[in-house]
């Protein structure tokens, strides 16, 4: 039987447009797809329809988190005042070493995905550790729409997290064979990757048509060290360009301190950016010039970057997005409540290659959405989204998470 979900509906269309239906409905067919959506009274016709009435509640598309680290789940937010490198040394490497145990990886993965579903994230780009078996456990536990990548690291890392270059490439090759395009090529960042490893990664991405995910220009200290490691490169971005890692299926996280020339290369190659405002604030990394990225026409979407980002909730990232760029005149038309919802949903789904399947409400798309318990009275998307970011408890607002038309979580 078809199901008609009734509620107040927000539907992000673009960075500047969001539909709102005060008494709306999402009609879901027997296959979990959206047959139609809009005003409730227009949809409530026909006999084989079961109405699910949430007319007092808000219904929005599920979130996309385009850059997060599953292995850092248990150490998220457990730091203060550390910049990137000491934070990696003190908190992250010791935790990632534990993922040599598949059993440990499995247990963390289970809790991680439960948490994402509770917070309404159903699409994600996920980093693993260097461990092939840990990546397998992550895939086995994954019950959302995600790409997952075994991290590649063959230099400047602790001994337990330093791979032999060839072994690393073979491990990635095996995972691509096994999981197809769901496995992302994941050279962690230039500092921890030899040129040979990055070039090998690019070749594997070509072979399998895989997404590539990495970090770029996050922190001045790292930029400095990286330029010494790769003296033949013009700049940080050029290292990846020369290795063949940039292109329309590549997602670089951060891109905070890129020069105009570097942004031009990202644009020209079609490379996408994962913008992680809460992480950037937590690690004192700086502000990504979102106005520049927007004006150059580089595609970006929001991400938690757990565990530097302290929370798994994309509502927290939307709040961080509004705050990180507040008071900067050039940002006013790029950064606002309506764009925040778009960058936390449809923009992310597009970047991860799932834009035709999910990310907002459209006939034929998968019914992936959230019923949120709120008591907001406004009929203006901007005000409702503002309330979502500031006036609710992120951990209890999700009343139902619906994935492919099935309720998979009830709060
Ligand atoms: Zn990251």
- CA 149–ligand 1 middle distance (angstroms): 12
Domain count, the chain: 2
Q: Do 31 and 88 belong together in one domain?
A: no
Q: What is the pLDDT of residue 46?
A: 78
Q: Do the domain assignments include residue 279?
A: yes
CB 131 within 8 Å of CB 100: yes
How far is 139 from 141, CA to CA, in rounded Å?
A: 5
Q: What is the pLDDT of residue 12?
A: 98
- CA 215–ligand 1 middle distance (angstroms): 6
**Nearest of 359, 321, 331, 213 to residue 272 by alpha carbon:** 213
Q: Do the domain assignments include residue 55?
A: yes
Q: Do 247 and 117 belong together in one domain?
A: yes
Q: What is the pLDDT of residue 329?
A: 78
- CA 67–ligand 1 middle distance (angstroms): 6
Residue where a domain stops, chosen among 351, 371, 390: 351
pLDDT tens by residue, the chain, 411 residues: 999 999 999 999 999 999 999 999 999 999 999 999 999 999 998 778 999 999 999 999 999 999 999 999 999 987 767 789 999 999 999 999 999 999 999 999 999 999 999 999 999 999 999 999 999 999 999 999 999 999 999 999 999 999 999 999 999 999 999 999 999 999 999 999 999 999 999 999 999 999 999 999 999 999 999 999 999 999 999 999 999 999 999 999 999 999 999 999 999 999 999 999 999 999 999 999 999 999 999 999 999 999 999 999 999 999 999 999 998 877 878 999 999 999 999 999 999 999 999 999 999 999 999 999 998 888 899 999 999 999 999 999 999 999 999 999 999
Q: Do the domain assignments include residue 313?
A: yes
Q: Do 46 and 136 belong together in one domain?
A: no
Q: Do 172 and 293 belong together in one domain?
A: yes
Q: Do the domain assignments include residue 294?
A: yes
For residue 328, what is the domain's CATH number? 3.20.20.140
Q: Do the domain assignments include residue 50?
A: yes
- Lookup: tokens for 50: 């079961």
For the chain, how big is the Rg over CA atoms in Å?
A: 21
- CA 411–ligand 1 middle distance (angstroms): 29
Q: Helix (H, G, I), strand (E, B), or coil: what is residue 56?
A: strand
Q: What is the pLDDT of residue 327?
A: 86
- Residue 182 burial (CB < 10 Å; 0-12/13-18/19+)? middle
- CA 305–ligand 1 middle distance (angstroms): 5
Q: Do the domain assignments include residue 356?
A: no
Q: Do 58 and 88 belong together in one domain?
A: no
Q: Do 134 and 265 belong together in one domain?
A: yes
- CA 126–ligand 1 middle distance (angstroms): 9
Residues 6+ apart with CB under 8 A from 233: 227, 239, 242
How far is 399 from 409, CA to CA, in rounded Å?
A: 8
**Nearest of 200, 271, 188 to residue 226 by alpha carbon:** 188
Q: Do 347 and 382 belong together in one domain?
A: no
Residue where a domain stops, chosen among 351, 371, 397: 351
Q: Do 124 and 164 belong together in one domain?
A: yes
- CA 303–ligand 1 middle distance (angstroms): 9
Residue where a domain stops, chosen among 324, 351, 378: 351
- CA 321–ligand 1 middle distance (angstroms): 16
Range of the domain at 51: 2-62+361-410
Within the chain, what is the greatest distance between any pair of CA atoms? Answer: 70
Q: Do 42 and 91 belong together in one domain?
A: no
**Nearest of 201, 100, 187 to residue 152 by alpha carbon:** 187
Q: Do 265 and 338 belong together in one domain?
A: yes
Q: Do the domain assignments include residue 28?
A: yes
Q: Do 128 and 277 belong together in one domain?
A: yes
Q: Do 165 and 286 belong together in one domain?
A: yes
- CA 398–ligand 1 middle distance (angstroms): 26
Q: Helix (H, G, I), strand (E, B), or coil: what is residue 14?
A: strand
- Residue 11 burial (CB < 10 Å; 0-12/13-18/19+)? buried
For residue 402, what is the domain's CATH number? 2.30.40.10
Q: Do the domain assignments include residue 273?
A: yes
């Amino acid at each position: 039987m078809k199901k008609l979900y009734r509620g107040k509906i927000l539907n992000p269309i673009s960075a500047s447009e969001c539909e709102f239906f005060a008494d709306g409905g999402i009609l879901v067919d027997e296959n979990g797809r959206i047959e139609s959506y809009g005003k409730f009274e227009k949809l409530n016709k026909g006999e084989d329809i079961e109405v699910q009435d949430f007319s007092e509640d808000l219904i929005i598309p599920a979130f996309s988190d385009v850059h997060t680290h599953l292995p850092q789940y248990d150490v998220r937010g457990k730091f203060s005042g550390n910049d990137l490198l000491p934070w990696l040394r003190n908190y992250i490497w010791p935790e990632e070493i534990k993922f040599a145990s598949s059993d440990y990886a499995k247990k963390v993965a289970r809790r991680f995905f439960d948490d994402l579903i509770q917070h309404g994230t159903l699409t994600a780009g996920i980093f693993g550790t260097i461990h092939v078996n840990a990546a397998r456990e992550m895939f086995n536990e994954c019950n959302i729409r995600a790409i997952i990548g075994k991290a590649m690291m063959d230099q400047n890392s602790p001994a337990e997290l330093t791979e032999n270059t060839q072994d690393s490439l073979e491990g990635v090759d095996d995972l691509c064979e096994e999981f197809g395009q769901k496995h992302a090529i994941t050279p962690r960042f230039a500092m921890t990757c030899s040129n040979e490893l990055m070039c090998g990664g690019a070749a594997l991405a070509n072979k399998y048509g895989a997404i590539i995910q990495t970090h770029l220009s996050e922190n001045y200290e790292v930029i400095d060290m990286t330029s010494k490691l790769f003296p033949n490169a013009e700049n940080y971005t050029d290292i990846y360009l020369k290795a063949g890692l940039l292109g329309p299926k590549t997602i670089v996280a951060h891109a905070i301190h890129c020069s105009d020339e570097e942004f031009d290369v990202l644009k020209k190659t079609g490379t996408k950016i994962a913008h992680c405002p809460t992480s950037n604030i937590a690690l004192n990394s700086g502000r990504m010039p979102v106005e520049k990225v927007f004006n150059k026409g580089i595609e970006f979407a929001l991400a938690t970057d757990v565990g530097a980002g302290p929370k798994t909730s994309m509502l927290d990232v939307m709040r961080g997005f509004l705050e990180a760029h507040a008071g900067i005149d050039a940002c006013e038309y790029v950064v606002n409540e309506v764009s925040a919802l778009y960058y936390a949903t449809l923009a992310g789904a597009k970047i991860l290659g799932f834009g035709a399947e999910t990310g907002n409400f459209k006939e034929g798309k998968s019914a992936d959405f959230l019923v949120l318990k709120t008591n907001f009275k406004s009929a203006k998307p901007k005000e409702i989204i503002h309330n979502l970011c500031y006036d609710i408890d992120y951990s209890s607002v999700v009343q139902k998470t619906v994935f492919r038309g099935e309720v998979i979580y009830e709060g």
